[in-house]
């Protein structure tokens, strides 16, 4: 890395040269590494620890056209106290909603420590003008969102217009003010692992506080190999720049077993420093109940039926 | 900190007898020789069972049984032989967990490896060669190639059951009968395989297993009624075998040592190259004849790669082989541990710099931490001699030509690995490396359909694939 990172984005050619100069990713090798880590056997005390950690990392999400203030309030109640029968269950990290519901969520979560995250920038496709994206971000921040989950312009990225993607992220970051910016790469549309690595670096150079795999609206959403590559990117970015960036896989993580695989991936790739809700999140909705069910099973030795866990 | 709690695979699934005889003519035979030795679990030094060390007379009985069975087996239609071999393959799959635990107990290798690598490959070899049994006319060795007769096979301790499969599967498919001698430190899975032969109703005498050490192997190799000798092991023993069969009609294949170069160019996919280096030398505690024990890294990325490699080594988990999260198990024997230590100390005294991650070593058993030597010169012993342990020698190069020169500058030639994202360079390298296998952006990958074998002091003959049939046919 000969060019200082600040200068990398000074022109389209330096940015392109930098991103294409990153080491390649061998798909077979990356898949094999992720599959090997998925064979780790996490049992007993380690499993208990992992379940509580995973709960505290959940960004409890609802991103439906049919969302209502009532549904968001119910989800916020669950976020603060996931299991009403067991106060020892930690709260989740954040709730994630559309911008128009941020105020509702902020009110419902006041004083709880659970953060409000809002998607913005013409989620999920990102197909709008920069003005609209910045304005939407500013509105969500003004409504009290502590975290903004923006999407990148995949069309521009795939067309090779890295500068456009960079400038949009930088502009949204500026509009975030004190709020944290999570940049959604939508890896399911990036096609190659090389692109995932490049997009990760592009987002980090442009100021992302977190890089996130997916909107959840495109299949495949989060996968272990893609998350592996993003974890390698934040690890390498820290050693190159001294700045630490978080990672958030989102979409398709539904079971405790899946969640634990992600924690193992973090532990053995970026390292245990990232095993903290400040640096790693799981974007999910149905995952939480499975975590609660497994947690209760570990405590009592029995599985309770699904009706013993609230559906919000 | 996220500590993984112990997750041991249960050993209840294996049933180890206190004492084993020899497997001759389809049944357990009391050895004529009186010598018996214990086989130990190298992770705990606990004795697992007592096995016989067969003498000359025992070997003779086994060879006679195999000779008698040859009359039946060699004339059986290939499609019938295939049924037996397929049946063996299926029983191996059914008993895979048991065999994996047994292999890890006797050998010291991590259960993750015996479960996910060894056993699937063992079954795959039997399945693959079972498929050849009735298609030998189409293998390119003439319209009706004939078997050789009785094969005397001697296998090492690093992949006990897998080496057994590499030897027995093609031999049986071609219509030969066998007498196999497993290594003295790892006889248990071969003895379990004897039970599987019984379970598969294999005609008596087609497979005979005689346990013992070097003397037993020597008796087998020099037995006059052996038609074919197949050996995997050290170059030193390979030389003795070549001498003892010289001038006889015996056909020989030798798969011997190696000192493979794993070559990383500056345009390689670095994270995957690091995984490949780890898999090349720390897989199976480095007890792999084709291990990537010499890392040749292009100077311009040497520092970056070494930092990444050291960081990766710090996450390796050394310990109980039966724990499902163990990456590095025990060294197979006290003798092997002494050899690894001796060569590592030679590395230090010759001026190379030694590095190992902070790695707690269990109190009991034979253990050696993953170790890297930097600043290694081509003339150092650790760059020339096979260590057969988790010890990596790192050298650098500047140009592709220098990489080829250094990689080939060894008495061995079993395998090599090349890491580059550039296809043309990959092909340029592969055509110049004198090694039986050249892995492209991977290392230590095996497949029954792919021939395996060496150049120079790494031996001769090929095992695996269609090529592997030739060693067991009169062609």
Range of the domain at A74: 24-308
> Tens of pLDDT along A122-172?
999 999 999 999 999 999 999 999 999 999 999 999 999 999 999 999 999
ipTM: 0.95
Measured distance CA(B187)–CA(B282) in Å, rounded = 23
> Tens of pLDDT along A209-246?
999 999 999 999 999 999 999 999 999 999 999 999 99
User: Looking at domain B261-440, does it have CATH number 3.40.50.300?
Assistant: no
Question: Which DSSP state fits B114?
Answer: I
pLDDT at B1 exceeding the cut of 80: no
Domain for residue A31, yes or no?
Answer: yes
Measured distance CA(B168)–CA(B176) in Å, rounded = 9
The phi and psi torsions of B445 (rounded to 5 degrees) equal: -105, 135
What is the longest distance spanned by two Cα atoms in chain B? 65
Which residues in chain A are closer than 8 Å to B275, comparing Cβ atoms? 29, 32-33
Average of per-residue pLDDT across B94-115: 98
In three-state secondary structure terms, B30 is coil
Contact of B110 with B138, CB cutoff 8 Å? no
Please report the pLDDT score of residue A1 as a whole number: 45
CATH number of domain containing A191: 3.20.20.70
Q: What does the block give as tokens for A222? A: 């989060």
Please report the pLDDT score of residue A2 as a whole number: 45
Contact of A157 with A165, CB cutoff 8 Å? yes
Which residues in chain A are closer than 8 Å to B270, comparing Cβ atoms? 23
- Counting every residue, how long is chain B? 475
pLDDT, mean over chain B: 97
- Counting every residue, how long is chain A? 312
In three-state secondary structure terms, B151 is strand
Would you call B269 an interface residue with chain A, using a CB distance cutoff of 8 Å? yes
Question: Which DSSP state fits B145?
Answer: P
Number of domain units in chain A: 1
A41 to B271: CB separation less than 8 angstroms, yes or no: no
Of A133, A173, A182, A248, the active-site residue reads A248
Which residues in chain B are closer than 8 Å to A24, comparing Cβ atoms? 267-269, 421
> How deeply is B244 buried, as exposed, middle or buried, from its count of CB atoms within 10 A (0-12, 13-18, 19+)?
middle
* pLDDT above 70 coverage of chain B, percent: 100
Q: What does the block give as tokens for A252? A: 């398709």
pLDDT band of residue B31 (cuts 50, 70, 90) is very high
CB-nearest partner of B442 from A23, A28, A47: A28
Tell me which residue of A209, A159, A158 sits closest to A183, measured CA to CA.
A209
Contact of A273 with A231, CB cutoff 8 Å? no
CB-nearest partner of B271 from A43, A45, A232: A232
The CA distances from residue B95 to A133, B48, B169, in Å, are 60, 20, 17
Strand partners of residue B143: none
Domain for residue A157, yes or no?
Answer: yes
Domain for residue A80, yes or no?
Answer: yes
Q: Are strands B36-41 and B46-52 parallel, antiparallel or unpaired?
A: antiparallel
What residue ranges do the domains of chain B occupy?
19-256+455-470, 261-440
Measured distance CA(B102)–CA(B107) in Å, rounded = 8
Domain for residue A9, yes or no?
Answer: no
Domain for residue A140, yes or no?
Answer: yes
Q: Most B CBs within 10 Å: which of A40, A41, A42, A227, as the mutation test of the B interface?
A: A41
Start-to-end CA span in chain A (Å)? 48
Measured distance CA(B245)–CA(B261) in Å, rounded = 31
Would you call B267 an interface residue with chain A, using a CB distance cutoff of 8 Å? yes
The CA distances from residue B365 to B156, B332, B340, B361, in Å, are 20, 9, 15, 9
Tell me which residue of A5, A31, A37, A36 sits closest to A18, measured CA to CA.
A5
The tens-digit pLDDT sequence of chain A (312 residues) is 445 787 898 899 999 999 999 999 999 999 999 999 999 999 999 999 999 999 999 999 999 999 999 999 999 999 999 999 999 999 999 999 999 999 999 999 999 999 999 999 999 999 999 999 999 999 999 999 999 999 999 999 999 999 999 999 999 999 999 999 999 999 999 999 999 999 999 999 999 999 999 999 999 999 999 999 999 999 999 999 999 999 999 999 999 999 999 999 999 999 999 999 999 999 999 999 999 999 999 999 999 999 999 998
The CA distances from residue B221 to B51, B462, B472, in Å, are 20, 19, 16
Per CATH, the number for B19-256+455-470 is: 3.40.605.10
Of A115, A133, A182, A212, the active-site residue reads A212
Measured distance CA(B245)–CA(B252) in Å, rounded = 8
Buried b or exposed e, range A5-22, using 16+ CB within 10 angstroms: eeebbeeeeebbebbeeb
- Cα dihedral B322/B327/B333/B335 (nearest 10): -170
Show which residues of B are catalytic.
255, 289
Domain for residue A190, yes or no?
Answer: yes
Q: Hey, CA dihedral for A32, A33, A38, A39, is it positive or negative?
A: positive
């Amino acid at each position: 890395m000969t060019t200082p990172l600040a200068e990398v984005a000074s022109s389209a050619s330096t940015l392109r040269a930098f991103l294409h100069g990153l080491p390649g990713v061998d798909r077979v090798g990356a898949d094999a590494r992720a599959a090997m880590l998925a064979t780790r056997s996490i049992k007993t005390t380690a499993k208990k620890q992992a379940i509580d950690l995973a709960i505290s990392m959940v960004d409890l999400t609802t991103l439906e056209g049919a969302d209502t203030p009532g549904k968001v309030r119910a989800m916020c109640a669950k976020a603060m106290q996931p299991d009403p029968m067991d106060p020892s269950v930690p709260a989740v990290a954040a709730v994630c909603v559309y911008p128009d519901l941020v105020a509702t969520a902020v009110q419902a979560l006041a004083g709880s420590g659970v953060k409000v995250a809002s998607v913005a920038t013409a989620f999920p496709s990102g197909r709008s003008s920069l003005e609209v994206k910045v304005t939407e971000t500013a509105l969500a921040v003004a409504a009290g969102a502590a975290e903004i989950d923006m999407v990148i312009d995949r069309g521009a990225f795939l067309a090779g217009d890295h500068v456009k993607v960079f400038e949009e992220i930088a502009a949204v970051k500026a509009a975030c003010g004190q709020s944290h910016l999570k940049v959604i790469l939508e890896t399911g549309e990036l096609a190659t692992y090389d692109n995932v690595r490049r997009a990760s670096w592009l987002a980090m150079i442009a100021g992302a506080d977190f890089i996130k795999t997916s909107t959840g609206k495109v299949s495949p959403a989060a996968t272990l190999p893609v998350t592996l590559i993003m974890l390698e990117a934040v690890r390498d970015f820290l050693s190159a720049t001294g700045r630490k960036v978080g990672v958030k896989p989102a979409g398709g993580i539904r079971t405790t077993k899946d969640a634990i695989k992600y924690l193992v991936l973090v532990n053995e790739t970026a390292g245990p420093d990232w095993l903290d809700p400040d640096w790693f999140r799981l974007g999910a909705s149905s995952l939480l109940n499975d975590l609660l069910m497994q947690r209760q099973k570990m405590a009592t030795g029995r599985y309770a039926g699904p009706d013993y866990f609230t559906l919000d | 900190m996220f500590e993984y709690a112990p997750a041991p695979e249960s050993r209840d699934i294996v049933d180890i007898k206190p004492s084993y005889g020899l497997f001759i003519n389809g049944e357990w035979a009391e050895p004529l020789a009186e010598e018996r030795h214990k086989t130990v679990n190298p992770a705990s030094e606990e004795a697992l069972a007592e096995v016989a060390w067969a003498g000359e007379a025992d070997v003779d009985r086994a060879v006679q049984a195999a000779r008698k069975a040859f009359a039946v087996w060699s004339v059986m239609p290939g499609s019938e032989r295939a049924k037996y071999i397929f049946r063996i393959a299926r029983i191996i799959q059914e008993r895979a967990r048991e065999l994996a635990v047994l292999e890890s107990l006797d050998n010291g290798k991590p259960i993750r490896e015996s479960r996910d690598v060894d056993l699937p490959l063992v079954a795959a070899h039997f399945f693959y060669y079972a498929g050849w049994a009735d298609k030998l006319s189409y293998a390119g060795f003439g319209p009706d190639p004939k078997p050789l007769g009785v094969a005397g096979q001697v296998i090492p301790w690093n992949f006990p059951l897998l080496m057994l499969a590499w030897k027995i599967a093609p031999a049986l498919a071609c219509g030969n009968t066998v007498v196999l001698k497993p290594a003295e430190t790892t006889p248990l899975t071969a003895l379990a395989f004897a039970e599987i032969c019984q379970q598969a109703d294999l005609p008596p005498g087609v497979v005979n297993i005689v346990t013992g050490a070097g003397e037993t192997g020597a008796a087998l190799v020099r037995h006059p009624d052996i038609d074919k000798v197949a050996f995997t092991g050290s170059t030193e023993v390979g030389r003795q075998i070549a001498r003892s069969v010289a001038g006889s009609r015996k056909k020989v294949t030798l798969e011997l040592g190696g000192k493979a170069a794993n070559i990383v160019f500056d345009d390689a996919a670095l994270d995957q190259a690091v995984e490949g280096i780890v898999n090349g030398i720390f897989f199976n505690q480095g007890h792999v004849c084709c291990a990537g024990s010499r890392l040749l890294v292009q100077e311009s990325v040497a520092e970056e790669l070494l930092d990444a490699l050291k960081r990766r080594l710090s996450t390796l988990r050394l310990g109980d082989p039966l724990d499902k999260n163990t990456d590095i198990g025990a060294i197979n024997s006290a003798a092997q541990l002494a050899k690894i230590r001796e060569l590592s100390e030679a590395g230090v005294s010759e001026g190379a710099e030694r590095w190992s991650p902070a790695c707690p070593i269990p109190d009991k058993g034979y253990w050696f931490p993953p170790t890297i030597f930097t600043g290694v010169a081509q003339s150092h012993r650790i760059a020339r001699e096979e260590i057969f342990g988790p010890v990596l020698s790192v050298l650098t190069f500047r140009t592709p030509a220098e990489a080829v020169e250094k990689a080939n500058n060894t008495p061995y030639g079993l395998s090599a690995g090349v890491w580059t994202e550039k296809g043309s360079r990959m092909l340029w390298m592969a055509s110049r490396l004198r090694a039986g296998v050249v892995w492209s952006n991977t290392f230590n990958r095996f497949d029954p359909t792919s021939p395996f074998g060496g150049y120079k002091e790494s031996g001769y003959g090929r095992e695996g694939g269609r090529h592997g049939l030739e060693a067991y046919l009169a062609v």
